[in-house]
Chains A and B, each alone.
Chain A
Amino acid sequence: MNLTQTTALKWTVYALAVLLLCFLKRLLLGSATFWGVLPFLPPVLLAVMAAFEQPKSAVIAGLAFGALCDLVVPAPFPCLYTLAFTIAALLIATVMSNFMQQGFARALFSSVLAFVIVDLFEIAAMLTRGADLSVMLWLFARETLVSCVLLLPSYPLLRAVHRLFAD
């Protein structure tokens, strides 16, 4: 199998793993809220994948995954997730990799960074509508904390996919 085929297969398996996790989240959690917020899975998935991959692959994944999220998840403005996920993937794959060894801690901090960037865009959009900054920051904190719990099932599965195509 040549490199192109391996890359295509790897991202297909990543996509299937992401679909499985989204399906399980919907099946097991539904619209359940914890601490008043819905656990939000997409930034966690992106962060874990970007933490494993090279910057170029991570950015392309961020772009594609963001565009997909913009198509299915309502947002305060169009292309919010495309922009936020692309930037988040770039930062995770470049900056985070210089600071931390690959592992769960890096995935955790990457997830927090992804939420910071996504919610920065959300907050910026909401500020134009006169929303209260403190309320938004409080929502950001709760959303990040609750959603990072989703790393527990997501990280091992995506790491297994990464290891499958590591060589």
Chain B
Amino acid sequence: MKEFFRQHGLRILAAAAAVAVLLSVLTYFSSTSSVLENIAGVLTSPFRAAATAVSDWAADKRQYYEDVTALKEENAALKKEIAELRAQQRDAQAANDENALFRRLLKLQEKRSDFTFVSARVLAHSESNWTSSLTLSHGTDQDIAVGDCVVSAEGYLVGVVSEVGLNWSTVLTVIDTDTELGARIFRTGEIAVAEGDFSLMNEGRLKLSYLTADDEVLTGDQIVTSGLGGYYPSGLVIGAVESVRTGDDGLARYAVLRPMVDFDALTEIFVIIDHDVVE
């Protein structure tokens, strides 16, 4: 190699200088690029294009991957947000329902300040054809006791607690054959007894018994609890008179009462756990 440069070095240098001068001259006089540059450009252009295409493809793929990853993360975050919002919506709905319940309770409490109410949900309706009952979501945990009266949100009498456990209680509705309440005809103030009757129970009705010949009972008369004896509160609406009939003996009269409550539609009720006794 040394020998080669020793022999031809000057020639090579001279040739390089000549090429350099030639390129400089051509560049100076050319309006575009020099011929050699042009040749080099033409020759390298496909390779550059290919390299650029590969590079663009790789960049595109990288971008796609980054986008997909970002979208996946965003999607997961959005899903989480939707779940949280739905949970919040459910909480809000529950709070709304509770609010409505407390409003009704407040209204009821304002109407009857002599009562202490506890709200409860109806867990189950009658299980048997021979009784009419409801199962509630509270029991002794809310101070509910056997004999407590149960009313609807409107304040109409639903029934009386017959059995009570820690977090459940059973209510026999006013149409059950075991129910017997001191009653008063609201219009006249006359006293009678409202009681469940088996024949009427299946029709969703109850009986107003012990009517005297002087009692003026008219269809549509409201019947309320008398409160006599202090066992049950007074003034709770039991139902309205639907018809007045004569008993099988042909002497005693009784009225058929239509309760003010649709027992099958009840979902929330109020238990009167304490009340002032009317003397």
Contacts and interface: CB of A to CB of B under 8 A. Distances in A.
A116 interface: no
Most buried by A among B130, B163, B170, B178: B130
Interface string A96-139: 00000000000000000000000000100010010110011001
B169 to A, nearest CB: 12
Contact of A139 (B125, B126, B129): B129
B130 A38 contact: no
A31 B172 contact: no
Contact of A129 (B124, B125, B177): B177
B279 interface: no
Q: What does DSSP make chain B's interface, helix, strand, loop or mixed?
A: loop
A126 B198 contact: yes
A76 B131 contact: yes
A84 B217 CA distance: 43
Q: What does DSSP make chain A's interface, helix, strand, loop or mixed?
A: loop
A75 B130 contact: yes
A143 B133 CA distance: 18
Given A76-B177, A126-B198, A40 B129 contact: yes
Contacts of B212: none
Interface size of A as a range = 10 to 19
B129 A38 contact: yes
Contacts of B202: 36, 135, 139
B172 A131 contact: no
16 contacts: A37-B129, A38-B128, A73-B127, A74-B131, A75-B128, A75-B131, A76-B177, A76-B178, A122-B130, A126-B130, A126-B177, A131-B197, A132-B198, A135-B202, A136-B198, A139-B130
Interface of B: 124-131, 133, 162-163, 170, 172, 177-178, 197-199, 202, 264
Given A40-B127, A131-B198, 15 more contacts: A31-B124, A36-B202, A38-B129, A74-B127, A74-B162, A75-B131, A76-B131, A129-B198, A131-B177, A131-B197, A132-B199, A135-B198, A135-B199, A139-B129, A139-B202
